[in-house]
C-alpha cells in the first residue's frame, strides 16, 4: 500500500525545515541554560542532595549565578578548582554547599585546563556505553507495531507491579507517566518516590528501580521490555542524562511541546532540547516527539498539515544533534472526529503519509483521546479502528487506546482488554496492506496530497517569518507564545568567549566518528 507522492515537494519541505532549524541553531550555539550546566555537572559525576534536600547540581549552578559569572559555564570553574585544589567534582559541590569554597575566587584571565575534567566524564560515558551494550545483547528482532502502555499511579513501587502485569500480558514498552507539574520544576527530585498526582516523579532512582524490574520480567518473558520517561520541561537535558545512565530506551523529547503546552520560554526549550538530543543520540535512546498533542486542541482534519510540518522541523532539529533517523520517533495521533464522513479513510491518508515521508523513523502513533466520551463500547470501536490503521500503515510505536479513556486512569483490567484488542487486530490485519492499492485520484490519494501541499505552504511561511514569529501567531495547536515570555527565561544566558561544554564536544565527536 503506497501513496503516489510528488517527491520534489517532499524535498522542498525538507529544505525549508532545514533552513528553519538552522536559523534557530544559530541562537542555540550562542546560548546555554542553567539546565544545560546542571547536566554537565551530572555527567561529571555530581549526585545527591544537601541537608536541605537541594540537589548538589542546583547548589553549584545557583552559586555561580549569584557570586561568579555563569556565562563562563560550570566547566570553566570546576576545571580551575581541580587544577588548584585537586578535588573531585562531588567534593567541590559539597564544599560549595558548606560555603567552604567560593568559585568567584577562581576567576582569572588564564584559560582553564578543561582536560582535567576528562577522567570524570569518561567514567560516566563508560556507564552509558555499558548500558548500550546491555541493550544490544537483549534486543532481538522486533515485531511492529510495538505495543506501548502507560503506568501512572504516583508510587514507583505500585508502578512496578502494574508494569510487570502489562509486560506479562504482552506489552512491549512501558511508559512511566510523570507526575503533574514536574515539567515546570527547575530541579530534579532525588530518590524513590511514592506520592505523585496523575503520574510518578521522574528521578534517577525511580528510573533505576523500574529498569531493574523490567530486566527481571524480560528474563521470564524471554523478550526485552523497553522503558520510557519524559525528557521534557525545564530539566530536559538533565533527565536525558539520567535516562542514558539508567538505560531508558525511549524518552519523550520534542522541540516545540514545552513551548506550546507548558508555556516554557522558547529560547530555553530550543537550547535544552539540543543538548538532550545529543545525549539521546549518544546513548541510542529513541526520542518521541509531541505532534499528537496539536490535535487535542486543533481539529485533526483542518490542521493535519501542522503535524506534518512539525514532523519535518523536529527531524531537522534531531539531525542538528547528530541523531540518526532510526532514533527519531516522530509523533502523530488518531484524533479524527468519528462523526466525520469517511473519517477512517482520512486517517489512513494521514498515517500513510507520515509513514512514507519518514520511512526510516520509528513513528509513534497515539490513540483517540479528544473524541472519547466515556461510552466504553464506542471507545472500543474507535480504538479498534486505530489498531487497524496502525497495522496497515506499518507504524512502529503504538500507544494503546483504553476503553475507559476520559473516565479515569486505566485499571490493569482496562489495559488487559486493550492488549487483547491490539493482539487480535495485529494478527487479523497482519498482511492486509499488501492487498491494497491506493488509486490515484481516490479520496485517500487526494487527501494525502492536500495535506502535503498545505504543509509545504506552512513551511514556506515559517521559513520566511521565522519560527519565533510562527509560535507567536499560534500556528501550532492554536496556542500563542512570545519570545520574551514563558517560564525559565531567566535561566538562559549568552556564552562568554571562554565558555566550553566538554560533554557536547566529546559526544558529537564520538557520533561523528561512529565510536559512541
Q: Which residues are catalytic?
A: 257, 292, 364
Kindly report the number of other CB atoms within 10 A of residue 81's CB atom.
21
How many Å apart are CA 330 and CA 18, to the nearest integer? 16
| Phi, psi of 5, deg, nearest 5 | -110, 155
CA atoms lying within 13 Å on the CB side of residue 384: 11
What 3-state DSSP class applies to 262? Answer: helix
C-alpha cell at 245: 545512565
C-alpha cell at 260: 506550546
C-alpha cell at 99: 560555603
DSSP state string for 327-396: GEE-EEE----TTSTTHHHHHHHHHHHHHHHSTTS--EEEPP-TT--S-HHHHHHHHHHHHHHHHHTT-S
For residue 145, say if its preceding peptide bond is cis, omega within 30 degrees of 0. Answer: yes
What dihedral angle (degrees, nearest 10) is formed by the CA atoms of 22, 23, 24, 28?
80
Give CA separation, 408 vs 85, 160, 402, in Å: 56, 19, 10
Q: Is 406 exposed, middle or buried (0-12, 13-18, 19+ CB in 10 A)?
A: middle
Amino acid at each position: 500500500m503506497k501513496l503516489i507522492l510528488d517527491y520534489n515537494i517532499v524535498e522542498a519541505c525538507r529544505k525549508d525545515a532545514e533552513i528553519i532549524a538552522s536559523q534557530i541553531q544559530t541562537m542555540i550555539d550562542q546560548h546555554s541554560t542553567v539546565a544545560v550546566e546542571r547536566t554537565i555537572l551530572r555527567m561529571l559525576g555530581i549526585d545527591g542532595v544537601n541537608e536541605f534536600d537541594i540537589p548538589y547540581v542546583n547548589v553549584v549552578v545557583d552559586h555561580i549565578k549569584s557570586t561568579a559569572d555563569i556565562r563562563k559555564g560550570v566547566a570553566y570553574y570546576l576545571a580551575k578548582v581541580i587544577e588548584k585544589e585537586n578535588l573531585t567534582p562531588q567534593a567541590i559541590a559539597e564544599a560549595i554547599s558548606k560555603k567552604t569554597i567560593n568559585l568567584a575566587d577562581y576567576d582569572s584571565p588564564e584559560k582553564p585546563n578543561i582536560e582535567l575534567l576528562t577522567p570524570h566524564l569518561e567514567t560516566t560515558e563508560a556507564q552509558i556505553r555499558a548500558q548500550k551494550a546491555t541493550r544490544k545483547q537483549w534486543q532481538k528482532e522486533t515485531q511492529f507495531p510495538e505495543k506501548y502502555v502507560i503506568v501512572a499511579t504516583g508510587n514507583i513501587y505500585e508502578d512496578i507491579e502494574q508494569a510487570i502485569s502489562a509486560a506479562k500480558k504482552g506489552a512491549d514498552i512501558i511508559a512511566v507517566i510523570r507526575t503533574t507539574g514536574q515539567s515546570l520544576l527547575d530541579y530534579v527530585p532525588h530518590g524513590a518516590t511514592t506520592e505523585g498526582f496523575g503520574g510518578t516523579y521522574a528521578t534517577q532512582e525511580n528510573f533505576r528501580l523500574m529498569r531493574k524490574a523490567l530486566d527481571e520480567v524480560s528474563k521470564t518473558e524471554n523478550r526485552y521490555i523497553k522503558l520510557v520517561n519524559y525528557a521534557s520541561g525545564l530539566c530536559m537535558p538533565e533527565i536525558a542524562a539520567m535516562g542514558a545512565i539508567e538505560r531508558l530506551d525511549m524518552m519523550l523529547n520534542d522541540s516545540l511541546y514545552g513551548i506550546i503546552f507548558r508555556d516554557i520560554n522558547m529560547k530555553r526549550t530550543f537550547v535544552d532540547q539540543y543538548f538532550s538530543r545529543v545525549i539521546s543520540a549518544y546513548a541510542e535512546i529513541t526520542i518521541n516527539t509531541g505532534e499528537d498533542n496539536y490535535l487535542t486542541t486543533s481539529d485533526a482534519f483542518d490542521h493535519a498539515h501542522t503535524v506534518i510540518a512539525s514532523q519535518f522541523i523536529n527531524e531537522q532539529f534531531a539531525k542538528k544533534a547528530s541523531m540518526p533517523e532510526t532514533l527519531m520517533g516522530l509523533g502523530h495521533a488518531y484524533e479524527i472526529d468519528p462523526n466525520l464522513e469517511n473519517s477512517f479513510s482520512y486517517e489512513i491518508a494521514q498515517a500513510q503519509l507520515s509513514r512514507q515521508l519518514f520511512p526510516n523513523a520509528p513513528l509513534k502513533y497515539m490513540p483517540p483521546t479528544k473524541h472519547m466520551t466515556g461510552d466504553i463500547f464506542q471507545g472500543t470501536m474507535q480504538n479498534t479502528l486505530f489498531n487497524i490503521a496502525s497495522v496497515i500503515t506499518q507504524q512502529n510505536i503504538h500507544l494503546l487506546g483504553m476503553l475507559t479513556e476520559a473516565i479515569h486512569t486505566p485499571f490493569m483490567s482496562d489495559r488487559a482488554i486493550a492488549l487483547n484488542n491490539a493482539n487480535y487486530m495485529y494478527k487479523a490485519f497482519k498482511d492486509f496492506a499488501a492487498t491494497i492499492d491506493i488509486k490515484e485520484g481516490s479520496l485517500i490519494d487526494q487527501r494525502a496530497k492536500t495535506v502535503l501541499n498545505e504543509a509545504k505552504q506552512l513551511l514556506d511561511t515559517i521559513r520566511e517569518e521565522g519560527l519565533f514569529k510562527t509560535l507567536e501567531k499560534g500556528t501550532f495547536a492554536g496556542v500563542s507564545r512570545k519570545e520574551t515570555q514563558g517560564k525559565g527565561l531567566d535561566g538562559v544566558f549568552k556564552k562568554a568567549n571562554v565558555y566550553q561544554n566538554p560533554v557536547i564536544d566529546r559526544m558529537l565527536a564520538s557520533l561523528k566518528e561512529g565510536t559512541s
